[in-house]
Structure 1
Amino acid sequence: MSDQTRRGSYGSSYDTSFDVNNNNNNSTSRQTIKFLTAATIGVSLMLLSGLILTGTVIGLVIATPLLVLFSPILVPAAFILFMAASGFLFSGGCGVAAVAALSWIYNYVAGKHPVGADKLDYARDVIADKARDVKDRAKDYASYAQGGTTTGSTY
């Protein structure tokens, strides 16, 4: 019986007029706390951002004369390092491609039917058919050139 008297219009035992007023006060205080927390975090991050920007500018001001002074050494060194790294990456990529190709060939020869094997078989059959057609035409032309009769299709 006490549950029935406490239930409000929504059927919940927590929706009394006291709780509704308390939730309004609670939600405004929660919003205030959320705003203050977000503002505090935002201001501190803005201060950190400004300090990092200031430090970066000071570092560049100090490092610029050194970079200009040592640029005849640093630029060719950077170019050589870039070329060496590119060469190592390219050769490594070629090695990976070779291992992948050899693995595919091994799986194909072993009969495991790797991806693309059906296309390779189709291409092989088409090439074999064309080679057979060329061979037959060559025989027909050879017999025609020798004065014989043609045994194949007419042209």
Structure 2
Amino acid sequence: MPTFLENFPYLEPRILENYPNQKFEIPTPERLMKILRENAPTQSQIIGAVVIVTIATAVVMLMTVGGLLMGGLSIGGLVLTCLFILFVPVLVAGFGTVLFIGTTVLVTGTGFTVAVVSALRWLYLYLKGYHPPGSCHVDAAKRSVIDAAYRLKEMAGVYVNNAVQEIDTARRLNEMASVYVNGALHEKIMRVLTRVDQAAASYSC
């Protein structure tokens, strides 16, 4: 088999000096596929990367929404402050209402952000093999689903076996009925032929 350097003669000569007795063979496609499979990322690494990207995207989106809300509230507060200064008697009730609504929106957005980040963190820890709080209930639910699927599979197998037995029984009954009908028909034909022979014999006499 040609060596690696013989197939690539344009390489620098110092490679030959560094490896005088070493032969570099071109790897076969099977060897390349084996190397790729050995160095391929594991399922947990892929899941971890997906979870990290999802968490980062969610955090960036939530921070963007929070920043827009904060900016809008700041601008709205500034405008409302100016209007409040100009129209104090009229805008007291309206300013209180707007302030209450803005505070409610801010608190709700913050709580939603914390809940989403906590849920994604819990999911990441669970997929990595740790045991976050409440994972026992998830494992129990998973086992219940697996047991239910196994029982359903067993019931389906029993149903299929019964159906196969019923089909086999029906086929045997059909065969027996066919044999009985054929025998009865043959017997009737023989009786008719016997009567014909008897009639022919009496006529000849």
Scaled by the length of structure 1, the TM-score of the pair is: 0.44
Of the two structures, which has the highest relative contact order with CA contacts closer than 8 Å and spacing of 6 or more?
A: 2
